[in-house]
Amino acid sequence: MTNHSQKGTLLIVDDMPTNLKMLFAYLRHLKFKVLVAENGEDALVRVAHVQPDLILLDVMMPHMDGFETCRRLKENEATRDIPVIFMTALSETVDKVKGFEMGAVDYITKPLQHEEVLARITAHMTLRRLQQTLEGKNQLLEQQNLQLQEQNAELESFAHTCAHDLKNPLGNIMNLSEILVYKLGASLEAESLDFLQRIETTALKMDDIIKSLLLLASSRQQEVEMTPLNMLEIVTSVQQRLEHLIEEYQSEIVLSSSFPTALGYAPWIEEIWANYL
């Protein structure tokens, strides 16, 4: 891997000692960490122990040529992403195409020119580092997405539990208020009957909220049906629901005579209006 005190780690693979010595001296002078291998087999052993940032690979070598060496590098999951630049005296298009098919990122034609070698190394190492940065950010994004999914699952479970815990006592309030209105309504004063009816109405609204909360908690598994809404009816219902608060704060809500039709889920939209008012 890259040493931060140097520009990067390079592996030069060439069966010609003169070429190795020349490139080694030039690249070391430029502050690269340089590894060398005299054949394809030696190169495969090298990368198994120390992975370079880029490989300069000669094509024409005995026993295992550069094409076969590159093919084996690309077959190995641990080394397949290391950029390979071929060094070759071959100038035929078919040879260059074969090199790219094996997975090389570029070619340098012999005799080598130092400026060209440096330019191609710099370009492909920069691309590789950008790719590694992007891969790192993608991995981080995947981890954050997984954490978010886990947190959403916990939130859904919490909302589901809370809603179920509230349903039973609220059901009792609804039943008792309905019984009281039915049995005592005729004997109650108007103000007391009004309060009792408000309790009943509010309990019904709370039941709708709990049902909506349960639906929201399971919305990943169930489809929420969006329908055209009569917004005036929804706002009027919210106004009636909050009537005692409006009176307490001596407020006045003036409604438009008409609202545009909207597409949505009524219980959720009603809660939005309730919070807004």
With 50 as the cut, is the pLDDT of residue 4 above it?
A: no
The tokens describing 146, both together, are 């997984």
How buried is residue 80: exposed, middle or buried, by Cβ count under 10 Å (0-12/13-18/19+)? exposed
Question: Could you tell me the end-to-end alpha-carbon distance of the chain, in angstroms, rounded to an integer?
Answer: 61
Give all strands of the β-sheet with 9-13 in edge-to-edge order: 33-37, 9-13, 54-58, 84-88, 106-109
The Cα-based distances of 228 to 79, 219, 276 in angstroms read: 58, 19, 21
Q: What are phi and psi of 152, to 5 degrees?
A: -65, -40
In the CATH scheme, what architecture does the domain 9-112 have? 3-Layer(aba) Sandwich (3.40)
Query: By mean pLDDT, which of 62-66, 117-121, 240-244 is the weakest?
Result: 240-244
Give the pLDDT band (50/70/90) at residue 224: low
pTM: 0.58
Mean residue pLDDT of the chain comes to 86
pLDDT in tens, 118-177: 999 999 999 999 999 999 999 999 999 999 888 878 877 777 777 778 877 887 887 888
Answer whether 60's CB lies under 8 Å from 92's CB: no
Domain extents in the chain: 9-112, 226-277
Give the pLDDT band (50/70/90) at residue 220: low
With 50 as the cut, is the pLDDT of residue 238 above it?
A: yes
Query: By mean pLDDT, which of 41-45, 228-232, 273-277 is the weakest?
Result: 273-277
